[in-house]
Amino acid sequence: MYTSGTTGRPKGAVLSHVGVIHNLMNYHQTLKTDSNMKTIIAVPLFHVTGLIGQLLHMVYAGGTSIILNNYQNEKYIEEIQKHKVDFLFNVPSIFMMMRTSPLFDKYTFDFVKKVAYGGSPIYKETLEMLREAFPNASFHNAYGATETSSPATIMPLEYPLSKASSVGLPVTGAEILIIDQLNNECKPGEEGEVLIKGPMVIEKYWQNQKANDTSLKTGIGNLEISA
């Protein structure tokens, strides 16, 4: 899957079967999904959220995926109502756009059970809006990258509203370390570079040795980093 983050030329991240399946198991375990669940996919399937967090996740759980050609407020809301979609996974901006539609207030969404989000920060006010819109849902912030085959951390169910900006805890099998410019572990509250190790981390970029040398490292706190 090709990724460039927010800057730079796209790089081909070589995902593995074991990395993908590892994160399907993590989604399934943390979100408590089952074969009765339905999700609606409005994000690209060439991104890890659409492909792994939703489509393959539902294949693993035995659930259902409704796939849209693109995101459009009214269409998205109507399909949720038509199919009684109970698992929503988007970037926070899509939830905000969805909430601005006049059609949204014409329906209730008490059948929604799981709401997941990632890709950008979510703020307390946004989470409060989501809790009001989806009163019977659990809420899960997720943090990861193409290079980590989707999530490296997921917000556990028991976190309070005061932790709205948190991305939760490392998924099972992940080790995470934050270091400074001298490769020393940062203290709480200090800014630094995130190192991630685990079976979900890619081994290489496709035919890009320079990216491999600069982004994939070993020997720092026994961790590997995928930038």
Q: Identify whether 211 is part of a domain.
A: no
68 belongs to a structural domain = yes
| Element spanning 154, H or E | strand 150-154
Q: How far apart are CA 7 and CA 18, in angstroms?
A: 28
Q: Tell whether 219 is covered by a domain.
A: no
Q: Which of 58, 16, 73 shows the shortest CA–CA distance to 200? A: 16
Q: What is the CATH number of the domain that holds 165?
A: 3.40.50.12780
Q: Does any domain span residue 40?
A: yes
Total of domains in the chain: 1
Output the tens digit of pLDDT for each of the chain's 227 residues.
998 766 678 899 999 999 999 999 999 999 999 999 999 999 899 999 999 999 999 999 999 999 999 999 999 999 999 999 999 999 999 999 998 899 999 999 999 999 999 988 888 888 889 999 999 999 999 999 999 999 999 988 777 777 877 899 999 999 999 999 998 999 999 999 999 999 999 999 999 998 888 888 765 544 544 44
The whole-angstrom separation of Cα 78 and Cα 62 is 24
SS (H, E, C) 101-130: CCCHHHCCCCCCCEEEEECCCCCHHHHHHH
Is residue 89 assigned to a domain? yes
Instruction: Tell whether 210 is covered by a domain.
Output: no
For 90, the domain range is 2-174+199-205
pTM over 0.75: yes
